[in-house]
A = this chain, B = another copy of it.
Amino acid sequence: MNKNYIVPNEWSIIEDGFDNENVEASESLFSIGNGAMGQRANFEEDYSGSTFQGSYIGGIYYPDKTRVGWWKNGYPEYFAKVLNAPNWIGIHIEINGIKFDLHTCKVSNFKRELNMKEGWLSRSFAAELTSGEQIQVKTKRFISVEFNETGVIEYHIKALNFSGEITYSPYVDAGIMNEDTNYDEFFWEILEIVEGENSGCILSKTLKTEFHVSTAMQVSLAINNSEINVPQKTTIEDKKLTYSYKLNVNEGDTATIYKYGSYTSSLNYNIEELNSASLSNVQNAKELGFKQLLDSQKKSWEAIWKTADIVIEGDIKAQQGIRFNIFQLNQTYMGTDSRLNIGPKGFTGEKYGGSTYWDTEAYCIPFYMATKDATVAKNLLLYRYNHLGKAIENAQKLGFKNGAALYPMVTMNGEECHNEWEITFEEIHRNGAMVYGIYNYVNYTQDFDYVVKNGLEVMIAIARFWHQRANFSEAKGQYVILGVTGPNEYENNVNNNYYTNYLAKWCIEYAVECINKVKHNYVSDFDRIMDKTNLSIQEMYQWLKISDNMYFPFDEEKQVFLQQDGFLDKELIPVDKLDKSQRPINQKWSWDRILRSCYIKQADVLQGMFLFEDRFSKEELARHFDFYEPLTVHESSLSPCVHSILAASIDRMPKAYEQYVRTSRLDLDDYNHEVHEGCHITSMAGTWMSVVQGFGGMRVWEDGILSFNPQIPEEWKSYSFTINFRGSTIKVYKSQTECKFLNESGKDVKMFVNNKEVKIPANQLVTI
Contact = CB atoms under 8 A, between A and B. Distances in A.
A474 B557 CA distance: 12
Interface in A576-594: 586-593
A454 B714 CA distance: 66
A570 B70 contact: no
B492 A493 contact: yes
Nearest to A587: B73
A321 to B, nearest CB: 30
A568 B495 contact: no
Interface stretch (A31-39, A104-112, A417-425): A417-425
Given A397-B590, A590-B72, A591-B425, A495 B420 contact: no
A471 interface: yes
**Which residue of A68, A471, A568, A569 has the most chain B CB atoms within 10 A of its CB atom?**
A569
B592 A425 contact: yes
A426 B67 contact: no
Contact of A474 (B74, B471, B476, B568): B568
A475 interface: yes
Contact of A592 (B398, B472, B565, B568): B398
Given A591-B425, A596-B483, A473 B398 contact: no
B70 A593 contact: no
A572 B475 CA distance: 11
A471 B592 CA distance: 14
A393 to B, nearest CB: 13
A590 B73 contact: yes
Interface string A534-571: 00000000000000000000010000000001101111
A572 B473 CA distance: 9
Interface residues on A, range: 35 or more
Contacts of A386: none
B473 A569 contact: yes
A570 B555 CA distance: 22
Given A419-B69, A592-B426, A566 B569 contact: no
Contacts of A482: 566, 569-570, 596
A566 B68 CA distance: 30
Nearest to A493: B493
A72 B490 CA distance: 12
A376 interface: no
B495 A569 contact: yes
Interface string A154-196: 0000000000000000000000000000000000000000000
A70 B418 CA distance: 10
A590 B74 contact: yes
Interface in A401-421: 419-421
Given A569-B495, A571-B471, A571-B472, A483 B72 contact: no
B72 A591 contact: yes
**Which residue of A68, A483, A572 has the most chain B CB atoms within 10 A of its CB atom?**
A483
B72 A69 contact: no
Given A74-B592, A425-B590, A569 B397 contact: no
Contacts of A79: 69
Contacts of A419: 69
A478 to B, nearest CB: 9
A591 B73 contact: yes
Given A471-B571, A482-B569, A590-B397, A595 B493 contact: yes
B399 A590 contact: yes
Contacts of A592: 74, 398, 421, 425-426, 483
A224 interface: no
Interface string A698-735: 00000000000000000000000000000000000000
A652 B494 CA distance: 36
A66 interface: yes
Interface in A250-300: none
A480 interface: yes
Contacts of A492: 422, 492-493
Contacts of A473: 568-570
A483 B590 contact: no
A43 B283 CA distance: 68
A480 B68 contact: no
A161 B482 CA distance: 70
A480 B399 contact: no
Interface in A435-470: none
Nearest to A582: B399
A397 B426 CA distance: 28
A278 B286 CA distance: 76
B72 A595 contact: no
Contact of A480 (B67, B569, B591): B569
Task: In the A-B complex, list the 6 residue pairs whose CB atoms are closest, starting with the nearest.
Answer: A74-B590, A483-B596, A425-B592, A475-B568, A473-B569, A482-B596
Given A72-B591, A74-B591, A471-B596, 11 more contacts: A66-B69, A67-B67, A73-B588, A74-B592, A398-B592, A399-B589, A422-B492, A473-B569, A474-B572, A482-B566, A565-B565
Interface of A: 66-70, 72-74, 79, 397-399, 419-422, 425-426, 471-476, 480, 482-483, 492-496, 555, 565-566, 568-572, 586-593, 595-596
10 contacts: A73-B590, A398-B593, A399-B593, A421-B591, A426-B592, A471-B571, A472-B571, A475-B568, A493-B493, A565-B566
